[in-house]
Amino acid sequence: MRTRLGNKIIILDFGSQYTQLIARKIREIGVNAKIYPYHIAQNVITGENPNGIILSGSPKSVNDAEIITPSFNVFELGVPILGICYGMQFTAKFFEGKVINDNRRREYGRTNLRLFAHSPLFAGMEDNKIVWMSHGDSIKVMPTGFELIGKSKTCSVAAIVHKKKQIYGVQFHPEVNHTEEGNILLKNFAVNICKCRTDWTTANFIKTNIDAIRKQVGTDKVICALSGGVDSTVLAVLLHKAIGDQLLCFHVDSGLMRTDESKTIYKLFKENFDMHIEVINGQEEFFKALKGVSDPEKKRKIIGKTFINLFEKEAVKRADCKWLAQGTLYPDVIESVSVNGPSQTIKSHHNVGGLPKKMKLKVLEPFRELFKDEVRSIGRELGVPEWFIKRHPFPGPGLGIRVLGAVSSEKVAVLQKADDILLDELHKYNLYDAIWQAFAVLLPVQSVGVMGDERTYDYTCAIRAVDAVDGMTAEFHRIPYDVLDAISTRICNEVRGINRVVYDITSKPPGTIEWE
């Protein structure tokens, strides 16, 4: 009977900030996981034929006047269920338990989990390990048919089970790294309880997708816009493996790239993969469009639009192309449920991937179900060199948003030199791989300095280096003073136009990683 199941776990998202993390952790175990909003229709879920369902956490309370609930009775699907935080409280309320908001029982951060009774959910886990809590509500009266299996110091009901119905609930978050044995718990649920096979591997993904792409595309030609970033690069390599010369790659040289970036990309593709790649020189168009514009949002929009215009111009010449390949990732596809209204736009992000709406091309998006680190693993498996995979993230608008204020080719050239020196020193001191992202910013601030016996009145360069996991939050990296000294000395000595270097010690929040 099990073989008929879809071999996957479905996560119903009630708006927790950790929902994507649950999916990633399940995938790391080797089991496919998909996220749907909590209000999704029943036929979509039954169509997926899941082995089990996880109900996520939520910023909402089950005691709110308008409780958020799935559109159908998930407990009647006949598959095992795991409720996490809100998911557990929702389960408790559904089965006539009582959930209260008691200020004395609020728990945020680490606590120790006491395994109160034996359960397959806890197989291989030790008693008294640290788990991560984040809740104001807790269960006061046990739901009907459930047993208590875990407690913590402040939370008398930290884990429950309905043995007959195979419904589990945990108050803590097994998906966060701070929960010491969270991975074991998720594996127990997905593999032992839901009987999922652990065959969600990169090798499997590549094989299945190569077959699928060949079938989908047939003898048609496909175009792919290469930014030089990891996603579009790995996408191009996968497509090339599937359809060879039917793939046409374009790279737009905006003049806003790092030194020799376009040459590096061209070389990578030619030397490593012998692929068809064309570099479109768009430097003139970009600098012309950006002339005199200093507002960050306007600059971002101009750069995005110029990319699209140039790409369209080239693509319409290729009437034989029927497909546009895009490196869209899973987080771009499933906007996490916003139960508190739409979030504010901080920056208009631009990616070369998200291209022309006007063009009548069919869209090919093989990475729609993947996370960024999974794309990296696929890249490795496909032979993309490690130095390339490990490169720091680089924003679509490039140095256009790192030359603060109005952008000119002269200022970009100054910044390119400073940026080169920064990266060179980080490599020299073996710091590049320890830092998530590092770059130089050219400030529109001139100050007085002295070089030799001469007065200078030149620009200021800011150095930014941050530690992060996904770029959503970041801390400034503690670069040793000696290294900062070496960087600053070289930039002032070697880059005409810069006479002062400062180090950005702002975390995100309150700062963002890029300055614009």
Note whether 437 binds ligand XMP by CB under 6 A: yes
CB of 510 to ligand XMP, least distance (A): 11
Catalytic residue among 135, 162, 173, 350: 173
Task: Enumerate residues 6+ apart whose C-beta is below 8 A from 440.
Answer: 402, 415, 418, 419, 422, 461, 462, 463, 464, 491
Note whether 397 binds ligand XMP by CB under 6 A: yes
String marking each residue 355-374 x if it binds ligand XMP according to CB under 6 A: --------------------
Indicate the residue among 119 and 437 with the shorter CB distance to ligand XMP.
437
* Token pair 């190569």: residue: 210
Indicate the residue among 198 and 512 with the shorter CB distance to ligand XMP.
512
What's the CA gap between 249 and 232, in Å, rounded?
10
Note whether 331 binds ligand XMP by CB under 6 A: no
- Which among 168, 169, 171 is positioned nearest to 153, based on CA atoms? 171
CB of 66 to ligand XMP, least distance (A): 33
* Token pair 């935080």: residue: 85
Is residue 386 part of the annotated active site? The answer reads no
Phi, psi of 277 (to 5 degrees): -135, 135
Note whether 514 binds ligand XMP by CB under 6 A: yes
Give the number of residues written for the chain.
Answer: 516
Indicate the residue among 447 and 473 with the shorter CB distance to ligand XMP.
473
Indicate the residue among 83 and 395 with the shorter CB distance to ligand XMP.
395
CB of 435 to ligand XMP, least distance (A): 12
3-state secondary structure of 287: helix
Binding ligand XMP (rule: CB under 6 A), the pick from 70, 143, 296, 396 is 396
Q: Which residues pair with 435 in a beta bridge?
A: none
Give the pairing type, strands 147-151 and 107-115.
Answer: antiparallel
Give the pairing type, strands 81-84 and 32-37.
Answer: unpaired
Indicate the residue among 58 and 336 with the shorter CB distance to ligand XMP.
336
The Cβ of residue 203 has, within 10 Å, a number of other Cβ atoms equal to 11
Is residue 85 part of the annotated active site? The answer reads yes
What's the CA gap between 284 and 388, in Å, rounded?
28
Note whether 301 binds ligand XMP by CB under 6 A: no
What's the CA gap between 478 and 481, in Å, rounded?
9
Binding ligand XMP (rule: CB under 6 A), the pick from 171, 262, 351, 416 is 351
Residue 30 DSSP one-character state? T
- Cα dihedral across residues 348, 349, 350, 354: positive or negative: negative
What's the CA gap between 274 and 257, in Å, rounded?
23
Note whether 228 binds ligand XMP by CB under 6 A: no
Token reading at 14:
């009630």
Catalytic residue among 175, 181, 285, 374: 175
Token reading at 444:
């529109």
- Residues 186, 26 contacting (CB under 8 angstroms): yes
Contact stretch for ligand XMP (CB under 6 A) within 69-77, 123-131, 342-350, 411-419: 342-350
CB of 337 to ligand XMP, least distance (A): 22
Contact stretch for ligand XMP (CB under 6 A) within 74-82, 232-240, 348-356, 476-484: 348-356
Note whether 129 binds ligand XMP by CB under 6 A: no
What's the CA gap between 85 and 99, in Å, rounded?
12
Binding ligand XMP (rule: CB under 6 A), the pick from 136, 331, 393, 449 is 393
Note whether 508 binds ligand XMP by CB under 6 A: yes
Note whether 395 binds ligand XMP by CB under 6 A: yes
The site that binds ligand XMP (CB under 6 A) totals a number of residues, namely: 14
- Residues 33, 22 contacting (CB under 8 angstroms): yes
Binding ligand XMP (rule: CB under 6 A), the pick from 347, 368, 372, 380 is 347
CB of 471 to ligand XMP, least distance (A): 4
Binding ligand XMP (rule: CB under 6 A), the pick from 349, 362, 427, 428 is 349
Q: Give me the residues that bind ligand XMP (CB under 6 A), please.
A: 347, 349-351, 393, 395-397, 437, 471, 508, 512-514
Residues with catalytic roles: 85, 173, 175
